[in-house]
């Protein structure tokens, strides 16, 4: 019985790859891996930029929204005056000056600064007299206003549209109108005392 002999020195007679070809394959694989990594990084950067741009746009839109609520709080007596040039269309009737406090609530989504407020209708004019007031989100501020009115004008009966000049967080200035109800307020209670002394 013959025993099979294995020659351990026998080599595979397959033609071996040249070292240059093997090196080319390694470089090609490395380039493919680097290409995939570059595509992934570029995609992540573009996606991140798009998300950041959308968030920035939404922030700008939110900052541009102004919503406020205002109502009269207190008033103090002023001195009767007989100036007629201050009020447009003044008829020579006694004009009374009164200082009032106006509460302003920021109902918008971002902080605002109320720079000034003004209102005018026949027989009455109103303008802010104090410094601008910063109002944080949901914050309440108080503005000092001066009213000049004719005692014969019944301007307390209807809401008074007031024009608010507001600076938003993005430093843009906007004008917002809000109808303020004066009927039943301290302003209406104090006014007759002013007129009675006129």
**Burial of 138: CB neighbours in 10 Å, binned 0-12, 13-18, 19+:** exposed
Q: Which residues contact 84 (CB under 8 A, 6 or more apart)?
A: 90, 91, 92, 95
Per-residue burial over 167-194, b if 16 or more Cβ lie within 10 Å, else e, is bbbeeeeeebebebebeebebbebbeeb
**Which alpha helices (H) appear in the chain, and where do they start and end?**
19-64, 186-196
Do both 30 and 78 map to the same domain?
Answer: no
Strand partners, 3: none
User: What confidence score (pLDDT) does residue 51 get?
Assistant: 58
Would 132 be classed as within a structural domain?
yes
Would 2 be classed as within a structural domain?
no
| pLDDT tens per residue, range 1-32 | 555 555 555 555 555 555 667 666 676 777 77
Would 7 be classed as within a structural domain?
no
Would 4 be classed as within a structural domain?
no
Give the span between the Cα atoms of 157 and 154, in whole angstroms: 6
Checking if the pLDDT of 137 tops 90, the result is no
Give the span between the Cα atoms of 86 and 176, in whole angstroms: 24
Give the span between the Cα atoms of 34 and 19, in whole angstroms: 23
User: What confidence score (pLDDT) does residue 85 get?
Assistant: 39
DSSP label at residue 151:
T
Do both 79 and 123 map to the same domain?
Answer: yes
- Asked if 153 and 123 count as a contact pair (C-beta separation under 8 A), the reply is yes
Would 3 be classed as within a structural domain?
no
Number of folded domains in the chain? 2
Mean pLDDT of 64-69: 85
Do both 48 and 87 map to the same domain?
Answer: no
Q: How distant, in Å, are the alpha carbons of 39, 73, 110, 140, 156 from that of 184?
A: 69, 11, 31, 21, 9
Do both 40 and 71 map to the same domain?
Answer: no
Do both 69 and 40 map to the same domain?
Answer: no
The set of long-range contacts for 121-124, using a CB threshold of 8 Å and a minimum separation of 24, is 121/153, 121/155, 121/160, 122/88, 122/89, 122/153, 123/87, 123/89, 123/93, 123/149, 123/150, 123/152, 123/153, 123/155, 124/87, 124/148, 124/149, 124/150, 124/153, 124/155, 124/160
- Asked if 133 and 166 count as a contact pair (C-beta separation under 8 A), the reply is no
Mean pLDDT of 44-48: 68
pTM of the predicted protein model: 0.63
Mean pLDDT of 38-67: 65
State the CATH number of the domain containing residue 143.
2.60.40
**Residue appearing with tokens 């601008």:** 132
User: What confidence score (pLDDT) does residue 167 get?
Assistant: 92
Of 64, 86, 103, the domain-final residue: 64
Q: In this predicted model, which residue has the larger pLDDT, 86 or 40?
A: 40
Of 5, 40, 64, the domain-final residue: 64
């Amino acid at each position: 019985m013959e025993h099979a002999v294995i020659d351990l020195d026998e080599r595979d007679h397959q033609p071996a790859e040249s070292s240059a070809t093997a090196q080319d394959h390694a470089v090609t694989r490395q380039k493919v891996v680097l290409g995939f990594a570059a595509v992934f990084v570029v995609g992540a950067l573009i996606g991140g930029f798009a998300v950041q741009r959308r968030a920035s746009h939404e922030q700008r839109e939110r900052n541009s929204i102004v919503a406020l609520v205002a109502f009269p709080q207190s008033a103090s007596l002023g001195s009767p005056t007989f100036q007629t040039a201050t009020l447009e269309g003044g008829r020579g009737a006694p004009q009374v000056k009164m200082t009032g406090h106006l509460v302003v609530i920021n109902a918008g989504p971002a902080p605002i600064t109320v720079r000034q407020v003004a209102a005018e209708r026949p027989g009455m004019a109103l303008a802010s007299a104090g410094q601008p007031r910063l109002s944080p989100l949901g914050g309440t501020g108080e503005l000092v206003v001066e009213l000049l009115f004719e005692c014969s004008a019944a301007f307390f009966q209807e809401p008074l549209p007031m024009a608010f000049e507001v600076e938003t967080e993005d430093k843009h200035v906007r004008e917002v109108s809000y109808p303020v109800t004066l009927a039943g307020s301290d302003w209406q209670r104090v006014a007759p005392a002013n007129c009675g002394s006129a």
